[in-house]
């Protein structure tokens, strides 16, 4: 069983993803601090949005094997800087969430994650469960 830390903007779908992957048992809260739940480490969106918190992300990533960069497919911009992943010496997976929304542009989101340095990108919908199996495989 591997541990996964999730990093992404506010409302990018980190908590929904943990809830879906933990069979609905996780109760999402607006966490203002790093939160540990089973195999998951949830981080506040603010930690990505304000680079003065990057050190907290780097420190917390020591506790995980997989770092997930979470991006909502409907977002027209991304706060992941180019080669963001170079700060972390962890296995990286890019996760595009909310792929079933009417304004989703999965290709655009994937491009943002690739420019951040993610070599593997998976596309998921936390509501329908689409795409979650590939993440489950990584966690096992």
Ligand X SMILES: Nc1nc2c(ncn2[C@@H]2O[C@H](COP(=O)(O)OP(=O)(O)OP(=O)(O)O)[C@@H](O)[C@H]2O)c(=O)[nH]1
The CB-of-131 to ligand X minimum distance in angstroms stands at: 9
Select from 5, 13, 67, 117 the one that contacts ligand X (CB under 6 A): 13
Residues with Cβ within 8 Å of residue 86, at least 6 apart in sequence: 117
61 sits near Mg ion (criterion: CB under 5 A):
no
97-113 as b/e, with b when 16 or more CB fall inside 10 Å? bbbeeeebeeebbbebb
The answer to whether residue 15 forms part of the interface with Mg ion (CB under 5 A) is yes
Helices (H), 1-140: 14-21, 46-49, 54-60, 106-115, 132-139
First-residue to last-residue Cα distance in the chain: 5
Range 107-126, binding ligand X (CB under 6 A): 125-126
**Smallest distance, Å, CB 120 to ligand X?**
18
* Residue 125 near which of ligand X, Mg ion, none (CB within 5-8 Å, type-dependent): ligand X
Query: Which of 89/127 has CB closer to ligand X?
Result: 127
Task: State which residue, 82 or 129, has the beta carbon closest to ligand X.
Answer: 129
| Helices 14-21, 132-139: inter-axial angle, 10-degree rounding | 70
Residues that bind ligand X (CB under 6 A): 8, 10-16, 28, 30-31, 44-45, 97-98, 100-101, 125-127
């Amino acid at each position: 069983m591997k541990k996964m830390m999730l990093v992404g903007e506010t409302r990018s779908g980190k908590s929904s993803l943990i809830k879906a992957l933990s069979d609905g048992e996780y109760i999402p809260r607006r966490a203002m601090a790093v939160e540990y739940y089973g195999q998951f480490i949830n981080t506040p969106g603010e930690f990505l949005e304000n680079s003065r918190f990057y050190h907290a992300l780097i420190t917390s990533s020591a506790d995980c094997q997989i770092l997930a960069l979470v991006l909502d497919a409907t977002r027209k911009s991304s706060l992941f800087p180019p080669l963001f992943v170079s700060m972390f010496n962890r296995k990286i997976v890019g996760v595009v969430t909310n792929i079933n929304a009417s304004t989703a542009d999965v290709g655009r989101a994937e491009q943002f994650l690739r420019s951040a340095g993610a070599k593997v990108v998976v596309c998921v919908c936390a509501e329908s469960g689409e795409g979650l199996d590939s993440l489950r495989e990584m966690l096992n």
